[in-house]
Chains A and B, each alone.
Chain A
Amino acid sequence: MQEKEIRIINRLGLHARAAARLVTLTSRFESRIELGRNGQMVNAKSIMGVMMLAASKGTSLKLVAEGPDEEEAVRAIEELVNNRFDEEE
């Protein structure tokens, strides 16, 4: 199982389009992937689940992945978040 803390750094936070991009990415992996904050974990392959985190800029999220491609999944998610979901700011 992989566990990592990731920080949301884009200006708009984990808004709807960013959540959609994240879910598109996570859905490619076989592993179970969850994101959470304040003890609430959600399925990172569910756009509604991800949006329920209401994660604005600066929010730290716990990322948990478990399965055959867990390492690759965590790497890809970190990259997407650190690239600000390919947004300009």
Chain B
Amino acid sequence: MTIGLLLITHGDTGARLLDTARTMLGVCPIETEALGVSFDCDPDAVLAEAERLAERLGNGDDGLLVLTDMYGSTPANIACRIQQRHHARVVAGLNLPMLVRVLNYPTLSLDELTEKAVSGGRDGVVVCQKPEGA
């Protein structure tokens, strides 16, 4: 499988998460790019850049997974539009557990990886217990 991974987020959130995940894992087994969207951007110009990255990352027939931070926001709206012209799936709600789980399964198909992204993101939201003895 040669799936590409594209993060489309507010500001440099995606780039920071990607740096952290890469450092944590020691490798980045999926070709990944992060595209930051600023509040004063021209959405059409960002979409053009996103299309360019999608073209490159999704060059194989296996498709492209796009992760974005907040559903309904401009970055997520741009991410959704990628699907019009590319074999892509989009998941909103990006967090570090979601990204780490996706990078843990580089050989899965696009549909399977999409499921892993959703489960990783959800499972990473936990009410933390008080440490023993505290």
Secondary structure at the B interface, as helix, strand, loop or mixed, is helix
Stretch at the interface among A45-53, A63-71, A72-80: A45-53
B residues less than 8 Å from A48 (CB atoms): 97, 100-101, 104, 120, 123-124
Q: How far is the CA of A1 from the CA of B101 in the complex (A)?
A: 27
Q: Is the CB of B123 within 8 A of A52?
A: yes
- Residue pairs across A and B with CB atoms within 8 Å: the count is 30
Which chain B residues (30-50) contact chain A, with CB distance < 8 Å?
A: none
Give the size range of A's interface with the partner. Answer: 10 to 19
A23 touches B104 (CB 8 A): yes
Number of interface residues of B (CB under 8 A): 15
Does A12 touch B at the CB level, under 8 Å? no
Q: A17-B24, A20-B24 are in contact. Are A56 and B100 (CB under 8 A)?
A: no
Give chain A's interface residues, CB within 8 Å of chain B.
16-17, 20-21, 23-24, 46-48, 51-52, 54, 56
Interface on B for A, CB 8 Å cutoff?
23-26, 97, 100-101, 104, 120, 123-124, 126, 128-129, 131
